[in-house]
Amino acid sequence: MRTPLATVRAQAEIIHRRLNKPEHRTTIREMIRAIDESSRSAGQLLDHAMVTFRADSLEHTPLDLVELLGETCARLAPTAELKDIAIKTNLPDAAFDFIGDSVLLQGALRNILDNAIKYSPEDSEITVSAARNGNYVLSIRDQGRGFGDADIQDLTSRFSRGSNVSDIVGSGLGLTIADEVARSHGGRLEISENTEGPGACVSLVLPQS
């Protein structure tokens, strides 16, 4: 599904470049946005299906949560750079030893960081930290628009999106995925406003066993 959508998108971009009339260009831009929405939904639905499937037969592999978090930041750094967003990492030298499914955990962290980038303005900062307080707490704090008057608890429901993000493409599955991954590992997702200024703070909390 992703490949044909990418083909249609590329063709729409070519047509967009060739058109002169503003109303035609607007129509094609709307078409491209609809294609982006479809491919985002297709990707997120596949990821969500994978979480549901893997959660039933979770892989129990020894891993280091700090390393996993660092890798996720490195993978998304180019996307953040496109918006001149700096990802500041505040990670301990010591490993956070954990037994779990690295594919799922990385998917959860990727979705949390993806939101922080997507809902933050250009030239802002994202702070990524890892701490332990009996649990492992992996936090991603941004300086974006925050959750507004959205019901925070409801944002982890499938297809739930806030009312303050209609300008940005999304399918409402990212936090559902992160929440399900956390629960399947005996943990939880903590969603709150950034206490140090405007923006959001989302933490993946996992048991330190």
Ligand X SMILES: Nc1ncnc2c1ncn2[C@@H]1O[C@H](COP(=O)(O)OP(=O)(O)OP(=O)(O)O)[C@@H](O)[C@H]1O
CB of 203 to ligand X, least distance (A): 12
Distances (CA, A) of 123 to 49, 56, 74, 97, 146: 35, 41, 18, 34, 16
129 is in the binding site of which of Mg ion, ligand X, none (Cβ under 5 to 8 A by kind)?
none
DSSP code of residue 196: T
User: Which of 12, 64, 74, 70 lies closest to 39, judged by CA?
Assistant: 12
CB of 131 to ligand X, least distance (A): 19
Give the 3-state secondary structure of residue 39: helix
CB of 64 to Mg ion, least distance (A): 25
- Output 174 or 187, the one with its CB closest to Mg ion: 174
119 is in the binding site of which of ligand X, Mg ion, none (Cβ under 5 to 8 A by kind)?
ligand X
Q: Which residues bind ligand X (CB under 6 A)?
A: 40, 44, 111, 115-116, 119, 142, 144-147, 150, 155, 160-162, 165, 170-176, 200
- Output 101 or 142, the one with its CB closest to ligand X: 142
Q: Which residues pair with 131 in a beta bridge?
A: 137
- Output 26 or 157, the one with its CB closest to ligand X: 157
- Output 101 or 111, the one with its CB closest to ligand X: 111
* Token pair belonging to 24: 């035609």
Distances (CA, A) of 200 to 36, 94, 147, 151, 190: 25, 27, 7, 13, 11
143 is in the binding site of which of Mg ion, ligand X, none (Cβ under 5 to 8 A by kind)?
none
CB of 146 to ligand X, least distance (A): 6
* Phi/psi at 89 (5° precision): -105, 135
Which residue has the CB atom at the shortest distance from Mg ion? 174
CB of 140 to ligand X, least distance (A): 8
- Output 66 or 178, the one with its CB closest to ligand X: 178
Q: Alpha helix (H) ranges present in 96-170?
A: 102-118
Residue 50: Cβ within 10 Å count: 14
